[in-house]
Amino acid sequence: MSVPNALFYALLRARWDESAWSEAAQIIQEGSIDWPAFLHLAKARGLAPLIYSVTRDHALLPPQVDRALQAHYVHNAARSTLLFDTLHAILDAFEREGVQVILLKGAALAESVYANPALRPMMDLDLLIRRDSLDAATRALTDLGFAPDRREPRRGAIQAFESQMRFHRPDLTDSLVELHWSLLDSPYYQERLNEAWFWQSARPVRDSHAHTLGPEAQIIHLSAHMLLHHGRAIWLGMHDIAEVCYHEKDTLDWALLLAKARAMHLVLPLQHILPQVKRGWRASIPDAVLQDLQRLPASDDERRAFHWLTRQRTSEAHHFLADLLTTPSARQRWRFALANIFPSPVYVRERYGMKTPWLTPYAYLRRWLRGMAHLRHLLRPPQPFRE
């Protein structure tokens, strides 16, 4: 017994492709499906609510499977309702503070692409703001009961070296908000992303002062985020791209998309992701576009950054080294290293659970020894990304 990926592809594709129903039915009839494993994968991949919405009126799945999927759908619908209530309160607060915002990932796609927030699970609310709006956005979130979920290694380090800050509020959804002032967290890309284009091409959200990324920017961001942040392709992320391709098939400017990807050193994420979306979802990506994409050259700098950023990060030290080695200038690398190797005493005591000041030297020693313990892994050459 097994769970062929072809079954997932067919069920997901059935949202816009009627021929996928007969393909899914044939797979079920011909093979012995491990239905408990199917349910596990559907939930782990973030696809359970979506699959339920597709199959609930077709009596295609066993009744017990349908009921389990329905439970995931109902749970996600309730969570999404609460999250979107929180989002609307945040957007109102941002408007009062004059903070411009672009909704990212699930917050943007749940209504604009899926047309039903219950279908797209969200772990948190991802919001893009302008860098100079961080203080105002922080003030708005604080007034709503949110607080940063971690202390900075040194004052100003997060804004200087990171691309985002997370805020948490203990409520029914255990709400997490990620404020982004750059779309990718790598220092290499913070220097190369054309942030102005992402803002200029953004689309307004109906009945809101918020925006969403334009379709070309959406596909570039979703592809890059999957590989450069998670280090791998993700089922829900690839389905997001397939949905965008389908809904925007008549308006997507593929030539613009490829030109922007090349200019921002984001050729490799697209070369890895878009062919998979085309094969699995038969997405509305012209063959000529994929051929042009494969012919696009990636610079040596992009290849080096890609290998470091997509390798498995098994420790905080891996993350530190990847960011250090892809930071553009020597001065920035020095400042980044200093902030992380010699963080503030308050930070290091809190990080390692040492409450009294006289334990501060031991906290630093523990931090340095843990970093050195990973030296063997850090000195390995980066391995090529594998699908």
In tens, the pLDDT along 100-144 reads 999 999 999 998 899 899 999 998 999 999 999 999 999 999 999
Report CA-CA distances (Å) from 63 to 57, 60, 118, 180, 374. Answer: 12, 9, 21, 43, 49
pLDDT grade for 304, boundaries at 50, 70 and 90: confident
Higher per-residue pLDDT: 24 or 338: 24
The answer to whether residue 370 scores a pLDDT higher than 90 is no
User: How, if at all, do strands 102-104 and 211-212 pair?
Assistant: parallel
- Residue 378: predicted pLDDT: 52
Instruction: Summarize the confidence of residues 233-242 as an average pLDDT.
Output: 95
- Residue 177: predicted pLDDT: 94
Instruction: Summarize the confidence of residues 195-221 as an average pLDDT.
Output: 94
The answer to whether residue 151 scores a pLDDT higher than 80 is no
- Domain-wise residue ranges, the chain: 5-76, 311-378
pLDDT grade for 322, boundaries at 50, 70 and 90: low
Sheet holding 102-104, edge to edge: 147-148, 164-169, 175-180, 125-128, 102-104, 211-212, 203-204
Tokens of 281: 């979802």
- Residue 360: predicted pLDDT: 78
Most confident range (mean pLDDT) of 168-182, 222-236, 354-368 is 222-236
The answer to whether residue 383 scores a pLDDT higher than 80 is no
The answer to whether residue 315 scores a pLDDT higher than 80 is no
pLDDT in tens, 32-43: 899 999 999 999
pLDDT grade for 386, boundaries at 50, 70 and 90: very low
pLDDT in tens, 250-291: 999 999 999 999 999 999 999 999 999 999 999 999 999 999
Task: Please give the share of the chain, as a percent, with pLDDT higher than 90.
Answer: 61
- Residue 175: predicted pLDDT: 80
- Residue 384: predicted pLDDT: 47
Do 110 and 119 touch, CB atoms closer than 8 A? Answer: yes
Range with lowest mean pLDDT among 100-114, 125-139, 205-219, 352-366 = 352-366
Instruction: Summarize the confidence of residues 213-232 as an average pLDDT.
Output: 93
pLDDT in tens, 71-84: 999 999 999 999 99
- Residue 312: predicted pLDDT: 58
- Residue 50: predicted pLDDT: 96
**Phi and psi angles of residue 33, each rounded to the nearest 5 degrees, phi first:** -85, 130
Range with lowest mean pLDDT among 58-62, 72-76, 159-163, 380-384 = 380-384
Instruction: Summarize the confidence of residues 10-25 as an average pLDDT.
Output: 93
Tokens of 144: 């709503």
- Residue 256 identity (one-letter amino acid): L
- Residue 32: predicted pLDDT: 83
- Residue 387: predicted pLDDT: 44
Do 374 and 315 touch, CB atoms closer than 8 A? Answer: yes
DSSP for 273-325 reads HHHHHHHHH--S--HHHHHHHHHSPPPHHHHHHHHHHHS---SHHHHHHHHHH
The answer to whether residue 48 scores a pLDDT higher than 70 is yes
Residue 324 CB partners (closer than 8 Å, separation 6+): 333, 336, 337
- Residue 385: predicted pLDDT: 43
> What is the overall mean pLDDT for the chain?
86
